[in-house]
């Protein structure tokens, strides 16, 4: 995804106390927040300062999350976004 969009990426480790504060704020402000929220959650931060939530993992299992990624990558939204960054 970072390669397609020509942007850096950051992975937050929810087992690291420093990262969990950042992750909690991102998920509370932009994602699918519950007290015990699901991971992964994927966000894009844009040059105008806005942040958009792209994906939340599925509690049903990794196959469902994999399909979520596949659907994102095949979406018009993603194709348009990748086309803008080329």
Closest CA to 57 of 79, 31, 80, 78: 31
Is the pLDDT reported for residue 86 higher than 60? no
Q: How confident is the model at residue 2 (pLDDT cuts 50, 70, 90)?
A: very high
Distance CA 58, CA 9 (A): 21
pLDDT in tens, 62-78: 999 999 999 999 999 99
Over residues 15-42, the mean pLDDT reads 94
More confident site: 18 or 85: 18
**pLDDT attached to residue 85:** 66
pLDDT average, residue stretch 30-37: 93
- Nearest-angstrom CA–CA distance, 65 and 71: 10
Cα 32 to chain centroid, rounded: 11
pLDDT reported for residue 77: 93
């Amino acid at each position: 995804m970072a390669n397609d969009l020509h942007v850096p990426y950051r992975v937050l480790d929810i087992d690291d106390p420093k990262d969990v504060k950042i992750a909690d704020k991102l998920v509370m402000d932009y994602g699918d927040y519950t007290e015990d929220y699901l991971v992964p959650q994927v966000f894009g931060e844009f040059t105008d300062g806005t942040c958009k939530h792209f994906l939340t993992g599925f509690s049903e299992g990794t196959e469902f999350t994999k399909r979520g990624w596949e659907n994102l990558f095949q979406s018009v939204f993603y194709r348009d976004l990748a086309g803008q960054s080329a």
